[in-house]
Structure 1
Amino acid sequence: MNAASGRFDDAITDFSRRLVDVEGVVKAVYVAGSGPAVVLMPEMPGISPDVLRLARWVRDAGFTVHLPSLFGTDGAYPTAERGEEVIRRACVSAEFRAFAGGGTSPVTAWLRGLARRAHTECGGPGVGAIGLCFTGNFALTMMLEPAVIASVVNHPSLPLDDPAGLEISDEDAHEVRERIARDGLKVLAYRFDDDRWCTGRRFAAYRALLGDAFDGRVLPGGSANTDPPPFFRNVVGSPHSVVTAHFVDEDGHPTVKARDEILAFLTSRLIRTDSAESSAHRGGADR
């Protein structure tokens, strides 16, 4: 518990904690649910109670959610002081490319390996990927892995110093664009209209790269939760996290609609395809 705020950390008791080795690099991954796999990447400053709430929604929608620990303290309530320290460490880490000109973050290679393993274990037509904030664009880069067929890019904040930039190398951007066009894939994305970390210029850059395959949706900043955790209130400083810290759990609310659209998008790509294939198989057997 954070005594000053009266808000609690999350003990994460309803997930199994696994150590996953991808080419000699080991990271903790929290796994729960059944059905096709969805890799949900945390936002700064880590696997917060709000990120875990989103993970549970994904789980309860019929997926096996895989939540990798990439930075911060797992389950911790996001205080300003703790969050600032996590950002400082991540920005100098060799795993991430937080600033313009850095290209693709190396950690995405590990995440693609996680997606391959998850697909082998869970089956189905493929894997979903959800990125948030610092990891937002990772959901796009993960599409270099053929198993990833449904990507959701939420309020991508990298590179931090270029509001019109994309956190991806030119070579990887070309390969992702070609793969999306070849396989007829879509990329779903969300931001608030007055987000200072994910601006309209960034969404324009995604549109320039992906064309009509990029479905960027913008919510009014005035609809954001006005009482987020201290890290988001004091450090982030603007509406930002559409389906986590700035989510408002009220019927008909724009952020609730965004959450439901994300779950429907994953379902259409990862579950209904299975159902259609099964129906076709049964129909063929009956004839």
Structure 2
Amino acid sequence: MSALDSWTCGSHTAGDVTHPTYRKGVGPGVVIIHEVPGITPEVLAFADEVVGRGFTVVLPHLFGDSGAPASTERILRSIAQVCVSREFTKLKAGVASPVTDWLRSLARALHAELGGPGVGALGMCLTGGFALAMMVDPAVAAPVVAQPSLPAALGRTRGGDLGLSPADREAVRERVADGCPVLGIRYRTDPATGTRFDTLTSMLGDGFLKVELEGKGHATLTAHRAQVAVDRVLDFFDERLKPS
């Protein structure tokens, strides 16, 4: 039996782009975007915790395998898939990955169906910064940035880049000023995150809420999960998505 058997498989289309989705739960919507190498059992375990807290979770499948455990072979295969995909911006600074347009559409559709203050959006690692690009759309009311790693942190410029166009940066700044905070999670010494937390702190001030973990690690919510980080995400979704 696969860990995905309890999830409902579907798809979402925006323009000429279609990706599979997996859905589970009841309550306000949350879009959880997987990391390399795909929707692993660890990603599903975290997603199930969000479901258990009283949310409808949608997992888009963007690359890699669905439900399979991580392995060196799967990691390399998924990285190769991302490298040749035009949906992901790997090195160029100051631009958003094209796939974020599709993700915004998914968030809008989920919000239109479920209503409420908005939906949550959480990205991890390679997709970590996508929640920032998604919050340009007002449908996203609870953006979470977990160990953002794009563009690759090679050099000072890319290490501090958020994967946003100048217009998107200004839109994010305005949304935070209007009362929509951003939650960020990382291991403090994780080199993959570069200096992006410094950029976000400078750009958003008190509107950037940080959980910075000590020790060595990268995947804050999955392979190297820290319960304090998981609990803070769940509380953040409660605070932002469930009317008092």
2:105 to 107, 113, 121: 113
Matched residues in 1 for 2:121 and 2:229: separation?
16
The match for 2:10 is 18
Q: Which of 190, 199, 203 is 1:195 aligned to?
A: 190
Which residue, out of 57, 62, 68, partners 2:60?
Answer: 68
125, 133, 136: which one pairs with 2:128? 136
Amino acid at match of 1:17: C
Aligned residues: 240
Structure 1 unpaired stretches of 5+: 1-8, 223-238, 248-254, 277-287
Q: Equivalent residue of 2:57, what SS? A: strand
Q: CA 1:102/1:184 → structure 2, altered by over 3 Å: closer, same or farther?
A: closer
Alignment of 1:50-199 (within 5 A): 50-101=42-93, 103-160=95-152, 161=154, 162-181=158-177, 183-199=178-194
Change (3 A) 1:10 1:134: farther
TM-score with structure 1 setting the length: 0.80
TM-score w.r.t. structure 2 length? 0.94
Q: How many Å separate the matches in 2 of 1:38 and 1:11?
A: 19
Aligned partners of 2:100 and 2:134 also within 8 Å: yes
Contact 1:10 1:48 in 2 (8 A): no
Q: CA deviation at 1:163?
A: 2.1
Query: Which letter does structure 1 place at the counterpart of 2:189?
Result: D
1:270 is matched with 241
Q: Is the 8 A contact 1:41 1:67 kept in 2?
A: yes
Structure-to-structure mapping, 1:34-49, within 5 angstroms: 34-49=26-41
Work out the percentage of aligned pairs sharing the same amino acid: 45
Structure 1 residue 92: Cα displacement: 2.7
2:159 aligned counterpart, secondary structure: coil
Which consecutive segments of 4 or more residues in structure 1 shift more than 3 A? none
Give the secondary structure class of the aligned counterpart of 2:192. coil
Cα distance in 1 for partners of 2:15, 2:92 equals 28
Structure having the higher strand fraction is 2
Q: In the aligned structure 2, how far is the partner of 1:63 from the partner of 1:178?
A: 27
Checking the alignment, whether the CA contact within 8 Å between 2:180 and 2:207 is kept in structure 1 is: yes
**Aligned equivalent of 1:244:** 222
